[in-house]
Structure 1
Amino acid sequence: MPQKQKLERLDKVIAAQTDLSRRDVQRLAGRGQISVNGASIKKADLKIDPDTDVVMVSGRALALKRHVYIMLNKPRGVVCATSDAALPTVLDLVPDSLMRRGLFPAGRLDKDTEGFVLITDDGAFAHRILAPKSHVPKTYTVRLDAPVTPQMIEAFAFGVQLGGAVCMPAELCALDTPDTARVVIRQGMYHQIKRMFAACGAHVLALRRDRIGGLSLDAALGPGECRELSAAEVAQIALAGA
């Protein structure tokens, strides 16, 4: 049986997804300028379902959603953080039409790594796909300063030792040229791919994440571009780790 979605306070939902504060919402409700499913409401603490209830403010329908999931093609030089004093962040690339309070990158890419970053405000979903026990695969394309060797492939398959820890088995296969490869990992240790290749005597020159779970980066997205994911696409991410 599907789990029943938890209802949320009207003022909290509107404040999270618009430029209105909770106090603004309370004031507008008191003036009769907010309706839910066609009925005028006076109390801003009314519990609603953001995914199904129709909310109007001053005659304008709000496109409310419980959560948002955004695919970003991260360029080099941008950091996976919500804020940074010196460098641009992935949130700086989210357009106003998708921006809302509480957005964060679900997982991190290094500053000089490109590709698929998932941005969301759904903490439970992010935890589920990032938890070590979930084993959601992440697929990368890498360019090295040396050819991929059978010894590297074998080391990745058995688990490369990094310090006092042994990585989970990973998939490594050479691509069109000897120094480019595809890597699939199922955990997220610090600088993991770069360190794994370094342990095998190779240096990573370029790295791009192409896929999270069962969902590939949209080829139509240029560097720095993003778009919202559909429910079916979000499910593709999670199901790959089931």
Structure 2
Amino acid sequence: MRIDKLLAHTGYGTRKEVKKLVKQGAVEADGIKIKSFSAQVNPDKEVITVKGETVEYREFIYLMMNKPPGVISATEDDMHETVVNILELEDIVRQPFPVGRLDKDTEGLLILTNDGKFAHGITSPKKHVSKVYEAVLDQTVTEEDKKRFAEGIVLDDGYETKPARLEQIDSEKMLVHITISEGKFHQVKRMCHAVGKEVLFLKRIQIGGIVLDPKLETGEYRDLRDEEIEELQNS
């Protein structure tokens, strides 16, 4: 694995920041200074240190992505680009998969990992992990709409959703936040349709206690921090 990738994975900063550490001569493998940020190391066999501190390599990968629209939340697809296709090769080889899904035209927060137990803990219906979406509707919401969301809405197939929260953020822009604790097919759009509203734009901004990093441009991703992983595990 490239040294800059290893350090980014283990919480030593962004790619730019870890490259700076290498240039400063702060990184060593078995006591020998690493001079290139593209140097290959084996964390299972070599002792990697940063300023004398031993780097603890983690078996699993945990990524936060700002998913772009038009991309499928899957590991592979014959017809469309997937979220895995966006990843760098060194991340792809670790075989991460999306935790849950976002519709093709929906953007925003998506977690990818190769840790099945971790993923199950987030997606299990028993956990009721909340998800917050930012949406632009074609009409301003009413107090009655909010009440219906809070009580649970019967969808077009007869399924009654769990109680959800509909919050008006900007009435002029018809911007709302919608919080749900389940993930039925096109659920947010179908709930809005049930109260006579259509979704013009949809973005997931939060899962449990984890908020989408505002520094991530659409299509960008980064490693989850240790505290974020712990937060999701405890959600």
TM bucket (normalised to shorter chain) is 0.7 to 0.9
Q: Are 2:61 and 2:94, in contact at CA under 8 Å, matched by a contact in 1?
A: no
Secondary structure of the 1:227 match is: strand
Matching of residue 225 in structure 1 with residue 184 in structure 2: no
Report the equivalent of 2:45: 56
Report the equivalent of 1:29: none
Structure 1 unaligned spans of 5+:
1-37, 39-52
Paired residues for 1:124-135 under 5 Å: 124-135=117-128
Separation (CA, whole Å) in 1 of partners of 2:129 and 2:153: 19
Match of 1:166 among 149, 160, 163: 160
Matching of residue 192 in structure 1 with residue 187 in structure 2: yes
Q: Are 1:98 and 1:228, in contact at CA under 8 Å, matched by a contact in 2?
A: no
The one-letter code sitting in structure 1 at the alignment partner of 2:171 is: T
Secondary structure of the 2:133 match is: strand
Pair 88,129 (structure 1): closer, same or farther in 2 beyond 3 Å: same
Deviation at 1:63, TM superposition (A): 7.7
Paired residues for 1:4-23 under 5 Å: none
Separation (CA, whole Å) in 2 of partners of 1:223 and 1:134: 28
Deviation at 1:149, TM superposition (A): 1.0
Secondary structure of the 1:196 match is: helix
Report the equivalent of 1:151: 144
Larger Rg: 1
Match of 2:169 among 172, 175, 178: 175
Paired residues for 1:93-104 under 5 Å: 93-104=86-97
Separation (CA, whole Å) in 2 of partners of 1:203 and 1:166: 19
Separation (CA, whole Å) in 1 of partners of 2:183 and 2:124: 9
Runs of 4+ displaced beyond 3 Å: 59-64
Match of 1:139 among 120, 132, 136: 132
Q: Are 2:109 and 2:204, in contact at CA under 8 Å, matched by a contact in 1?
A: yes
**Cα deviations by residue, 1:164-198 (Å, 9 ceiling, x for unpaired):** 22100001110123411001100011110000001
Pair 96,63 (structure 1): closer, same or farther in 2 beyond 3 Å: farther
Secondary structure of the 1:165 match is: coil
Deviation at 1:127, TM superposition (A): 0.8
Structure 2 unaligned spans of 5+:
1-29, 31-41, 50-54
Separation (CA, whole Å) in 1 of partners of 2:95 and 2:104: 22
The one-letter code sitting in structure 2 at the alignment partner of 1:219 is: P
**Cα deviations by residue, 1:113-165 (Å, 9 ceiling, x for unpaired):** 00000000011111111111101110110001111111110010000011222
Alignment coverage as a number of residue pairs: 188
Report the equivalent of 1:10: none
Report the equivalent of 2:232: 237
Separation (CA, whole Å) in 2 of partners of 1:218 and 1:97: 22
Separation (CA, whole Å) in 2 of partners of 1:200 and 1:223: 30
Q: Are 1:148 and 1:180, in contact at CA under 8 Å, matched by a contact in 2?
A: no
Separation (CA, whole Å) in 2 of partners of 1:114 and 1:154: 27
Deviation at 1:66, TM superposition (A): 1.8
TM-score normalised to structure 2 length: 0.75
RMSD after superposition: 2.2
TM-score normalised to structure 1 length: 0.73
Q: Are 1:73 and 1:224, in contact at CA under 8 Å, matched by a contact in 2?
A: yes
Matching of residue 123 in structure 1 with residue 116 in structure 2: yes
**Cα deviations by residue, 1:190-242 (Å, 9 ceiling, x for unpaired):** 11000000111111110000011101000000010000012211112232x3x
The one-letter code sitting in structure 1 at the alignment partner of 2:111 is: L
